[in-house]
């Protein structure tokens, strides 16, 4: 156990007398040290994490005045100016404070100045002003000259991005390590926080700690200043990851304690996540999924506490199965994005109830290698965001052709995804799925449709989706029999989950625990307990895949098709959300006319609207358009529930739809949503 003389350490460790060292600038207070040289300390109001084992840089140098001081925060200030003046330093520090939530004034006790100019000159007055505001140590890069005698010159070039670091001295060298600010996951959306300890293997480590003094997970986020000059498209983006995706070094739980207990830590990071990392993104932790990506209701979760939705009264559903990812993006300003998957609804409905942006992309847009499957040919991965432009930016860089899935997996033609402004001409308005239950929400939808129509000159076509498909005269009724296609979906979604997860879990559990069946939630229990491999054959799977492909071919010729002017001739709209009513995490509260269960099937339709793109491989995006009031059965006052609309285009037209969404945002029809109780 460390004992850091100059820092104020927990009384139990090193004695309460250390408190005497507190000065006007807040001093770091060590809260705990743990395995792997992790150090958690408090500075001012914030709590930080550092792993000192694999520092980012090391220089031969000591802080001569205070040889006993073993660690302290140091801020690297980076400039390209050749004249480093007091004004320049003050402006830079103000800029840093404005853009970063990790850096704080309490980290200015020691600073290091680096310059990208070939020669820099540091004015003596600048040093005097720093020291009068409490900076005790100034280290300057070797390229910078100064007449001041109060600064030390680094013996070697400090090749580190700007921002706060933890300097730790040992012998005659000082190492600089990444500082993460810890946030408390107080909506219980994460399983745990994680970070990459910089050991050169690309492995992640799970943060063992809860947030100090709390029951919630602690999520580490790095300083935004580290990416200030990083030109990669995702530089510094903080991204949460649904715990179906493998991150090297971490176990993928799939939301199951039983599964978690039989698997090893992943030995590779999923290619879809690797793409995020290579573009500069930072994976900050694993979010809670419904077990094995099921559509379980909040009250059916057994293994983990159901995540909390920040909207409305705080007792609203996060839906399933990317629940934790969606509600985290709705809850936390410090989180930029979260990744999820969608098979039957699992990006789109969580986005709807959280009042944020989230998409089911065209089938096959991104590799799902090293991701626990539900259906190989129906699973997709999407990203949740609060801002329409940031959302489009992420998707366009993430869905790179090299990560498209092969036809062997999707059973469909290879993707060719254009990025142009060949927008739809028609708004398809399915009367078997609309209007919404709550007329106030329907009014918002009507505004949206009229805005969409007038902005792009689109005509609105009311139609009945179910009978249009089922009445269509085609030689083989199979491709338009929605009941039959739903049955094929069942086959497609049953075999992969069993082959990859179920069979292994059931047989391993039986072997380990005297023939017992594993404790899993009701959604999969009966199906896996009676799974019949002679019915769910690969042959049956192939038959269903072909039926799906035929249906997609029909859809793309007859319902949503390309023309010379449009990637997708139409955009279809519907509501995957609650129709403007609250849906509570407590089952009984959903009884009665003023609340609703999720996934209530329209009596006029054969298929849930959410199933349309699962069968027909189309792109289906949830976008928030407003909010409506409801009288909460929890807080007993009026609260707001988000209203969203779903936009559906033909497979491959994702980027065209993103371009349209960005134009809607520019026109003020769509806007960024806030975190917290209300989205707007």
Q: What residues line the site for ligand NAG (CB under 6 A)?
A: 60, 80, 155-156, 267-268, 408, 447, 450-451, 464, 467-468, 471, 477, 481, 483-484, 487, 538-539, 542, 564, 592-594, 631, 667-669
The distance of closest approach from Cβ of residue 489 to ligand NAG in the complex, given in angstroms and rounded to an integer, is 12
Q: What is the DSSP letter of 590?
A: G
> Nearest distance from residue 102's CB to ligand NAG, in Å?
20
Whole-angstrom Cα distance, residue 238 to residue 394?
Answer: 12
Q: CB 116 → ligand NAG: shortest distance, Å?
A: 7
CB-nearer residue toward ligand NAG: 327 or 469: 469
Listed in sequence order, the residues at least 6 apart from 507 whose beta carbon sits closer than 8 Å to its beta carbon are: none
Q: How far is CA 579 from CA 336, 384, 436, 582, 586, in A?
A: 27, 21, 5, 9, 18
Give the SS3 label for residue 55.
coil
* Residue 213: CB minimum distance to ligand NAG, A: 38
Q: Calculate the alpha carbon distances from 444 to 45, 464, 487, 640, 670 in Å.
A: 41, 21, 35, 14, 12
Minimum distance of ligand NAG from residue 206's CB (angstroms): 19
- In order of 477, 480, 490, 551, the CA distances from 484 in angstroms are 10, 8, 10, 11
Q: How far is the CB of 14 from ligand NAG (least distance, A)?
A: 30
Least distance from ligand NAG to the Cβ atom of residue 411, Å? 8
SS3 342: strand
Q: How far is the CB of 142 from ligand NAG (least distance, A)?
A: 11
Please measure the distance between the N-terminal and C-terminal CA atoms of the chain and give it in whole angstroms: 48
How many other CB atoms sit within 10 Å of the CB of residue 591? Answer: 12
Query: Residue 43 or 669: which CB sits closer to ligand NAG?
Result: 669
Residues 6+ apart with CB under 8 A from 450: none
Residue with Cβ nearer ligand NAG (7 or 247): 247
Q: Which is nearer to ligand NAG, 421 or 525 (CB)?
A: 421
Place of tokens 């900050």: 284
At 620, give phi and psi (nearest 5°). Answer: -140, 110
Distance in Å, CB of 251 to ligand NAG, minimum = 13
CA atoms of 225 and 178, how far apart (whole Å): 11
Identify which of 195, 167, 160 has the alpha carbon closest to the alpha carbon of residue 62. Answer: 167
**Shorter beta-carbon distance to ligand NAG: residue 395 or 665:** 665
How far CA 197 is from CA of 29, 47, 138, 180, in Å, comes to 22, 18, 27, 11
């Amino acid at each position: 156990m460390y004992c850091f003389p100059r820092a104020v350490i927990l009384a139990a460790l090193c004695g309460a007398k250390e408190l005497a060292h507190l000065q006007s600038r807040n001093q770091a207070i060590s809260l705990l040290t743990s395995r792997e040289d992790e150090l958690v300390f408090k500075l001012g109001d914030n709590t930080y994490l550092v792993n000192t084992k694999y520092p980012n840089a090391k220089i031969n140098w000591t802080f001569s005045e205070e040889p006993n001081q073993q660690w302290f925060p140091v801020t690297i200030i980076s400039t390209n100016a050749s004249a480093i003046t007091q004004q320049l330093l003050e402006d830079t520090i103000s800029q840093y404070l404005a853009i970063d939530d990790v850096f704080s004034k309490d980290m200015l006790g020691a600073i290091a100045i680096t310059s990208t100019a070939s020669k820099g000159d540091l004015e003596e007055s600048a040093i005097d002003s720093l020291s009068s505001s409490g900076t005790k140590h100034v280290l300057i890069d070797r390229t910078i000259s100064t007449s001041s005698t109060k600064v030390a010159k680094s013996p070697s070039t400090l090749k580190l991005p700007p921002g706060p670091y933890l300097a730790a001295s040992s012998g005659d060298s000082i190492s600089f390590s990444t500082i993460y600010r810890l946030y408390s996951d107080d909506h219980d959306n994460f399983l745990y926080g994680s970070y990459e300890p910089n050991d050169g293997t690309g492995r992640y480590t799970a943060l063992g700690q809860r947030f100090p003094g709390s029951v919630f997970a602690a999520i580490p986020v790095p300083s935004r200043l580290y990416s200030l000059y990083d030109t990669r498209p995702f530089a510094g983006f903080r991204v949460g990851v649904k715990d179906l995706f493998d991150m090297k070094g971490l176990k993928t739980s799939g939301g199951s304690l039983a599964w978690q207990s039989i698997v090893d830590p992943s030995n590779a990071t999923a290619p879809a996540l690797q793409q995020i990392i290579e573009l500069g993104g930072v994976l900050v932790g694993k979010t809670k999924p419904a077990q094995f990506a099921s559509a379980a209701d909040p009250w059916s979760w057994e293994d983990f506490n159901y995540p909390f939705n920040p909207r409305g009264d705080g007792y609203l559903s996060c839906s399933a199965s990317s629940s934790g990812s969606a509600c985290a993006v709705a809850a936390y300003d410090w989180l930029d994005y979260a990744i999820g998957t969608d098979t039957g609804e699992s990006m789109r409905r969580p986005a709807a109830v959280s009042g944020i942006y989230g998409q089911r992309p065209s089938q096959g847009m991104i590799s799902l290698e090293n991701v626990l499957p539900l259906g190989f040919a129906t699973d997709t991965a999407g990203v949740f965001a609060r801002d329409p432009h940031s959302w489009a930016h992420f998707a366009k860089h993430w869905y790179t052709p090299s990560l498209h899935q092969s036809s062997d997996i999707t059973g469909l033609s290879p993707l060719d995804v254009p990025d142009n402004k060949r927008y739809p001409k028609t708004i398809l308005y399915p009367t078997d799925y609309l209007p919404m239950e709550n007329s106030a929400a329907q009014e918002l939808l009507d505004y949206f449709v009229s805005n969409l129509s007038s902005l792009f000159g689109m005509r609105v076509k009311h139609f009945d989706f179910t009978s249009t498909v089922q009445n269509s005269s085609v030689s083989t009724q199979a491709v338009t029999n929605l009941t039959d296609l739903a049955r094929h979906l069942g086959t497609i979604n049953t075999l992969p989950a069993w082959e990859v997860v179920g069979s292994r879990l059931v047989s391993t559990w039986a072997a380990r625990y005297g023939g017992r069946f594993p404790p899993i939630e009701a959604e999969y229990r009966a199906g896996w307990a009676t799974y019949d491999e002679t019915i769910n054959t690969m042959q049956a799977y192939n038959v269903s895949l072909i039926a799906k492909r035929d249906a997609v071919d029909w859809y793309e010729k007859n319902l949503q098709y390309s023309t010379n002017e449009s990637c997708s001739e139409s955009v279809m709209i519907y509501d995957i959300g609650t129709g403007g009513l609250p849906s509570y995490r407590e089952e009984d509260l959903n009884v009665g006319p003023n609340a609703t269960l999720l996934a209530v099937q329209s009596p006029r339709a054969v298929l849930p609207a959410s199933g349309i793109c699962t069968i027909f491989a189309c792109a289906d995006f949830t976008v928030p358009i407003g909010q409506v009031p409801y009288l909460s059965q929890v807080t007993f006052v009026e609260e707001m529930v988000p209203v969203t609309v779903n936009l559906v285009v033909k497979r491959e037209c994702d980027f065209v739809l993103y371009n349209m969404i960005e134009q809607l945002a520019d026109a003020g029809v769509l806007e960024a949503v806030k975190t917290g109780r209300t989205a707007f």
